[in-house]
Amino acid sequence: MKIGVVGCAGRMGQMLVREIAATAGCTLAGGTERVGGPALGKDLGLLAGIEALGVTAIDDPAELFALSDAVIDFTSPDSTVRHAALAAQSETVLVVGTTGLNPSQQAAIEAAATHTPVIQSPNMSLGVNLLLALVEQVARTLGDDYDIDILEMHHNKKVDAPSGTALGLGRAAAAGRGVALEDVWQKVRDGHTGARPRGEIGFATLRGGDVVGDHVVMFAGDGERIELTHKASGRQIYAKGAVRAALWARDKTPGLYSMKDVLGM
């Protein structure tokens, strides 16, 4: 399977290049970078710190989609929307790890999925997707007798908050309770907030250093507290999951899929 990478010179892009090169059953179709970027024309293997692969960085996403069976996208919401349109036109599998999409941007992803398989997840790791399932189960079992707060920490260069994974965990908790997250979330607490409303799902965000990603879901009741935790020590887990998703989608019909589908959960 020929897999392309958009944003191939970034930290995640380089990790994806290394993972594709090391994975049986796939080959690197190419990679894109921004117009005028210093990586253009350079070998993607050398950019990623491995042997030369004979494929160089280009600045035309349309060309990349034409060359690829699947494209992996961990870029920005605006860029992902443009890539989704190209995926739909070329009927190329699209794997989306981009977070921070607004409702109209998400609608564009869903529209593309009517023409081609799209795998979208706020987090591609096996551990986080198991955590999502556990959070939903615990929330369903405990009900709103327990307060739920989600604490996340990432590196100081992350641009969206709360993280897409934290919001995904919130949605899992809300699903367990049979409510919409947007109806019960509290993203910021500041000043004289008063007593906590029953059923609220709260978020706390930390940014600093080079933290890859820590997430804790706390269920606090009278006399006890349950904490479910996932800590990522490297980005390779996301790259492995994304490549696995691309390979899984090869023969799938158009539709919007998640890592739950990929993992058979």
Is the backbone peptide bond immediately before 117 cis, with ω within 30 degrees of 0? no
Exactly one of 154, 215, 230, 240 is catalytic; which is it? 154
Between the two ends of the chain, the Cα-to-Cα distance in Å is: 24
Respond yes or no: is residue 240 known to be catalytic: no
In angstroms, the CA 110 to CA 84 distance is 9
Which residues neighbour 217 within 8 Å (Cβ) at sequence distance 6 or greater? 131, 135, 148, 149, 150, 169, 173, 227, 228, 229
Check residue 28 and report its DSSP letter.
Answer: E
Of the residues 2, 42, 158, 187, only one is catalytic, namely: 158
**What is the crossing angle of helices 103-112 and 77-90, to 10°?**
20
Check if 154 is active-site.
yes
What is the rounded distance in angstroms from the CA atom of residue 120 to the CA atom of residue 179? 22
Give the per-residue SS3 of 173-209: HHHHHCCCHHHHEECCCCCCCCCCCCCCEEEEEEECC
Length of the chain: 265
Q: Which of 106, 124, 114, 16 is nearest to 70 (CA)?
A: 16
Contact call for residues 12 and 75 (beta carbons, < 8 A): no
- The residues annotated as belonging to the active site are 154, 158
